[in-house]
Structure formats: C-alpha cells, structure tokens
C-alpha cells in the first residue's frame, strides 16, 4: 500500500471516516478489498496513515466516474509502494480517465435528450411510436435503447 513517514501520526478509523466523509463500514470494506491499509494498535484498533485520505478521495472520485472496485484496485496497484504517492503519481493515474468522463457526459446528454424525444411523446413504446421510431426501425440496429446508446435516429 502506502509507506508511512516515521513522524507521520496515524488516524483512527473514526478520525479518517470524519475527515474523508466515508462511513467506517465502507472503510473496513475498502480495507478487505486491499484498496487501503491500516496497522493495528496495541489495543487492536485500526490506525490509518494520513496518506490513506488521498487513496480514499481517489476511490470516491473513481467510483463517481464509473470505475469498478476491481478497476480502482488495479489503478491503485500502479502507485509506488516504496514512498507516499505524490501529485505526479496521481496525475498519471487520472490522465487516462478523460475519455471515460467524455463517454459518461455523452451518455448523460443522450439520456437527457431521450427524456423529451422518447419519453416526452407519452407512448413509451418504440414498437408503436409513430414520432421517433415508426415501425420499430431502431430494432434493426440491435438490442437495447438504441437512441440512448448513441445511434442516430432511424430514417
């Protein structure tokens, strides 16, 4: 995971939950998945290095753009293990996400457009729709909501 500096104070699970805004149960789950790591105090309580806060922020952001926990774990595994990751390390990980974010934006725009073009007519059926898809022409392009998947309107 991340190396802790010798003078760096560690945080309890309640402190890291408060600072990160993530429930303690989620932090324990992330730890079981290997996304974050803690050390056990003499009392058996978890103690997290401060660097875990950045990993947690990364996890939250990555989930919001649609990465699975498996993908997040793979990305985090690319971080250096011999030192605390720096800004360059985090930048290198997130650089490849621009395309994924653009895809999500395009998908959301299609969904927004579909609210008025598809659902807005009131029929809720491509098979019966005489406005956007008379004769269910979109079905020839494949399964699923073709307009929302980005297909141009049927001729």
In a domain, 152, yes or no: no
16 and 88 part of one domain: yes
Structurally, how many domains does the chain consist of?
2
- According to the model, what pLDDT value does residue 26 have? 96
**Domain of 127, in residue numbers:** 100-141
- According to the model, what pLDDT value does residue 11 have? 92
- According to the model, what pLDDT value does residue 126 have? 58
Give the CATH number, domain containing residue 23.
1.10.1660.10
* Measured distance CA(128)–CA(50) in Å, rounded: 58
In a domain, 26, yes or no: yes
DSSP assignment of 72-139 equals HHHHHHTS-SSS---HHHHHHHHHTHHHHHHHHHHHHHHHHHHHHHTGGGS---TTT-SSS-GGGGGG
Residue ranges of the chain with pLDDT lower than 70?
1-8, 114-134, 148, 153-155
In a domain, 34, yes or no: yes
């Amino acid at each position: 995971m991340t190396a802790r500096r010798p003078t760096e104070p560690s945080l309890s699970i309640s402190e890291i939950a408060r600072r990160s805004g993530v429930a303690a149960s989620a932090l324990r789950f992330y730890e079981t998945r290997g996304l974050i790591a803690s050390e056990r105090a003499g009392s058996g309580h978890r103690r997290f290095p401060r660097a875990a806060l950045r990993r947690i922020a990364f996890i939250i952001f990555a989930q919001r753009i649609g990465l699975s926990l498996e993908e997040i774990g793979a990305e985090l595994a690319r971080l250096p293990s011999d030192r605390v990751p720096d800004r360059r390390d985090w930048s290198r990980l997130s650089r490849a996400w621009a395309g994924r974010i653009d895809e999500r934006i395009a998908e959301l725009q299609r969904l927004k457009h579909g609210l008025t073009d598809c659902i807005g007519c009131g029929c809720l059926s491509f098979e019966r729709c005489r406005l956007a898809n008379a004769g269910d022409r979109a079905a020839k392009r494949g399964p699923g909501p073709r307009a929302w998947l980005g297909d141009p309107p049927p001729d």
